[in-house]
């Protein structure tokens, strides 16, 4: 069984070399984890496409759309879970469960509050806490569903673009800073070690979500 982790660089145009990525011995410590190789792959296609596929899953139970999402996200979910300390088999199982949740909960996805990648991350993180760390995770109260119907495509587009810019900004951070952020999200830092000043453009994303929340509250009243 060969479990390879591949490092993906969103901005891969200028950097096509292979390099090895070392981290806290996960590969060495886990039997069957196999050799870890890091390669660059082309940047993923337009993230908005994933939003269309989410709609196809939600409205049409479209298995082809699901297969496309699976092909892109399942290996990334599994990679994230392995980097967060999960054994390969458990990471595989959890990644499948996360993708099954995506199918069942597609109607809960709101592209004005999160990109597809962000939404999947939150499902994967919760699965990690529940099934791998075996901790209880209190979640914020669900927002009331407004009567406004379909989210505004312009808002969804703006949020998707800002999220794309965020991924590019993360990739272009100085390595030391980027590693620190990655370690925080892989659970390598305790909450007291976290430096919340990321140097990433979070303000625009926060403002967009805030606007979507304001609209929702307004529609409710």
Partner 1 sequence: MTDIRHHLTDALLMGYATGTLPEAFSLVVATHVSLCDDCRAQLGAYDAVGGAVMQTETAMMADDSLAATLALIARGDRTPVAKPHLGGIFPTPLQDYVGGDLDAVKWRRMGGGVSQALLKTDGGATVRLLRIPGGTAVPDHGHRGTELTLVLQGAFRDETSRFGIGDVEVANEDLNHQPVAEAGADCICLAATDAPLRFNAMVPRLAQRFLGI
Q: Which of residues 156-195 bind partner 1 (CB under 8 A)?
A: 163, 166-167, 170-171, 181-182, 184-187, 189-192, 194-195
Which residue is it, tokens 């980097």? 83
Among 145, 213, 218, 219, binds partner 1 (CB under 8 A): 213
Rg (CA), the chain: 18
What is the footprint of partner 1 within residues 84-143 (CB under 8 A)?
88, 91-92, 95-97, 99-101, 103-105, 113-115, 117-122, 124-126, 128-129, 133, 135-142
Stretch that binds partner 1, among 12-20, 81-89, 146-154 (CB under 8 A): 81-89
What is the footprint of partner 1 within residues 47-66 (CB under 8 A)?
63, 66
Contact, 111 vs 159, CB < 8 A? yes
For partner 1, which is the closer residue by CB, 52 or 70? Answer: 70
Among 75, 90, 158, 177, binds partner 1 (CB under 8 A): 75
What is the footprint of partner 1 within residues 10-29 (CB under 8 A)?
10
Q: Mutual orientation of helices 153-171 and 175-185 as an angle, nearest 10°?
A: 120
Distance in angstroms (rounded) separating the CA atoms of residues 11 and 62: 31
Count of residues interacting with partner 1 (CB under 8 A): 91
For partner 1, which is the closer residue by CB, 114 or 156? Answer: 114
Residue 71 host element (H or E): helix 63-83
DSSP 106: G
Nearest approach, Cβ of residue 154 and partner 1 (Å): 18
Rounded to 5 degrees, φ, ψ at 122 are: -65, -35
Distance in angstroms (rounded) separating the CA atoms of residues 176 and 184: 13
For partner 1, which is the closer residue by CB, 15 or 122? Answer: 122
Nearest approach, Cβ of residue 153 and partner 1 (Å): 19
Nearest approach, Cβ of residue 149 and partner 1 (Å): 21
- What angle is formed at CA 217 by the lines to CA 212 and CA 219, rounded to 5 degrees? 95
DSSP 200: S
């Amino acid at each position: 069984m060969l479990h390879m982790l591949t490092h993906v660089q969103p901005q891969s145009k200028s950097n096509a070399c292979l390099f090895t990525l070392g981290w806290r011995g996960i590969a060495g410590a886990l039997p069957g984890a196999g050799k870890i190789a890091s390669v660059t792959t082309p940047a993923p296609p337009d993230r908005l496409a994933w939003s269309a596929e989410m709609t196809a899953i939600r409205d049409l139970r479209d298995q082809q759309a699901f297969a496309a999402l699976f092909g892109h996200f399942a290996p990334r979910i599994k990679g994230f879970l392995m980097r967060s300390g999960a054994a390969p088999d458990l990471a595989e199982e959890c990644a499948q469960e996360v993708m099954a949740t995506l199918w069942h909960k597609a109607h809960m996805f709101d592209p004005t509050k999160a990109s597809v990648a962000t939404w999947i991350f939150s499902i994967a993180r919760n699965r990690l806490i529940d099934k791998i760390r075996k901790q209880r995770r209190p979640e914020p109260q669900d927002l009331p569903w407004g009567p406004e119907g379909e989210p505004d495509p312009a808002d969804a587009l703006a949020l998707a673009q800002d999220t794309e810019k965020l991924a590019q900004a993360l990739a272009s951070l100085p390595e030391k800073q980027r590693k620190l952020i990655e370690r925080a999200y892989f659970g390598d830092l305790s909450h007291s070690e976290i430096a919340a000043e990321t140097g990433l453009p979070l303000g625009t994303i926060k403002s967009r979500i805030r606007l979507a929340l304001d609209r929702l509250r307004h529609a409710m009243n």
